[in-house]
Every structure is written in C-alpha cells, then in structure tokens.
Amino acid sequence: MRIATFNANSIRSRIQVVLDWLTRNRPDILAIQETKVEDSEFPALAFKEAGFHAVFRGEKSYNGVAIVSKAEPADVSFGLDDGGPADETRLICARFGPVVVVNTYVPQGREIDHPMYRYKLDWFRRLKAFFGRRFTPETKLVWLGDMNVAPQAIDIHNAEAQANHVCHHVDVRRAFADAVAWGFVDVFRKHHPEPGQYTFFDYRTPKAVDRNMGW
C-alpha cells in the first residue's frame, strides 16, 4: 500500500497540482491538510473524475482535512471524541481493509505565550488518549498529516534559531514524543536518517527548496 501526505494550503488553489501528482504517482491513499474550504465547495468531482474517492471535512479559509483514495474507505469519522472541542476539521479517520489511517492537522500554536500553544500541547495529549480508546498498538495504524512540530534538531536546517518556535520548543517536542510513544515509528526518519532530509519548506523563505533550507 502506497500512502502519501500533503499540506495543500487551499485545495482549490492546488487542485491541478494535486491531480497531476496523483496521475503520475497513483498512490493508494493521499492525506491532505489545510484544505481551507467548506464541504460544499470541496472539489470532490475532480477527484472522482480522476478515479479517486474523497472524504473530507472543512471550513472556510481555515483548517480542513481530507483523505483521497483508490478504494472506498470504511468507518469514516471526524474529530476527537472525548467531550472537549471536537476539532472535526483537524482530524479524519478511515479504514482501508485491515489498515486504519488517521490524518491530522495539529494546531500550530501561534506564539509560546499564546493560549493556542497550551491548546496545542493538550491536543497531543488528547490525541494519544484517542488512540488508546480506539486502537491497540497491534492495530495496523498509520498516523500522518501536518504535525506542526519538528521533533529533532536534524529536522531543521537551523534548529538553534528555532529553539523557541512553537513548532520546535522543547515542550511541544516532548508532547509529540509522548504521543508517538503510544506505539508509533517515524517511518520517514527510519528510512532517511541522514541530515539534509526535510518534510517542509517555508514558502516565505526565498528559494527554500533550491537551497535545501527545510524544516
């Protein structure tokens, strides 16, 4: 099974880029974050015409998650289920045969002293509890998405400069590590342990990809 993930930063703006990539690579599953579109405006027809199913939950201008797949998913659900804020536009869960996929768009946190940063730390705690209620470590479970955290110094081209960033502060790295410790393996780093390998490039950094200045 081939599974991919992509932060679209507006699926309507990136739809042709995504469709072209799907045509070339034909993954079984593509998880998308930051669709930034209400469900009524999601380009489901475009994916259907390309031969893919799509399940999604979004809102205008912010957040939004989707799973695009060759096979029709089962047991689709949205959001956290612990009685707190559900955040349905930040989490989507679906099953494909024996494999369960959880796609998350974790809160960014804004600033270290902002209430949303504390919310982010608590979100990881709630997510770990979600995994514990729904699954066991033996479940064939894939957790992917935009985690909004760089857990190791190797994940940033200049980690020292980002030590107090909401995506690399020691507190958020610990919160993420605690969630991972539930039973996950970082498959990207398992297969790419060497320096200079990144999963995110900030579009605000000039020629970030060409200069390999990633997160």
Which run of H or of E encompasses 32?
Answer: strand 29-33
Task: Please report which residue ranges of 50-202 form alpha helices under DSSP H.
Answer: 115-134, 170-180, 187-191
Give the per-residue pLDDT at 100: 99
Q: What is the CATH number of the domain that holds 158?
A: 3.60.10.10
10-20 confidence digits (pLDDT tens)? 999 999 999 99
Task: Please report which residue ranges of the chain form alpha helices under DSSP H.
Answer: 11-25, 44-49, 115-134, 170-180, 187-191
Among 77, 94, 128, the domain boundary falls at 77
For residue 26, give its domain range: 1-77
Considering the domain architecture, whether residues 115 and 214 belong to the same structural domain is answered as: yes
Give the per-residue pLDDT at 83: 97
Considering the domain architecture, whether residues 130 and 200 belong to the same structural domain is answered as: yes
Which residues, 6 or more positions from 162, have their beta carbon under 8 angstroms from its beta carbon? 150, 156, 168, 215
Please name which of 75, 110, 103 lies closest in space to residue 89, comparing C-alpha atoms.
103
Please name which of 79, 53, 78 lies closest in space to residue 68, comparing C-alpha atoms.
53
Q: Residue 97 has which token pair?
A: 């045969």
Report the mean per-residue pLDDT for the chain: 98
Considering the domain architecture, whether residues 38 and 122 belong to the same structural domain is answered as: no
Please name which of 53, 50, 51, 49 lies closest in space to residue 66, comparing C-alpha atoms.
53
Residue at 115 is within a domain? yes
Tell me how crowded residue 143 is: count the other CB atoms within 10 A of its CB.
20
Q: How many domains does the chain have?
A: 2
Tell me how crowded residue 71 is: count the other CB atoms within 10 A of its CB.
12
Residue at 90 is within a domain? no
Residue at 99 is within a domain? no
Note if the pTM is more than 0.85.
Answer: yes
Considering the domain architecture, whether residues 49 and 154 belong to the same structural domain is answered as: no
128-160 confidence digits (pLDDT tens)? 999 999 999 999 999 999 999 999 999 999 999
Considering the domain architecture, whether residues 193 and 113 belong to the same structural domain is answered as: yes
Residue at 88 is within a domain? no
What whole-number distance in Å separates Cα of residue 203 and Cα of residue 201? 6
Mean pLDDT of 104-131: 99
Give the per-residue pLDDT at 59: 98
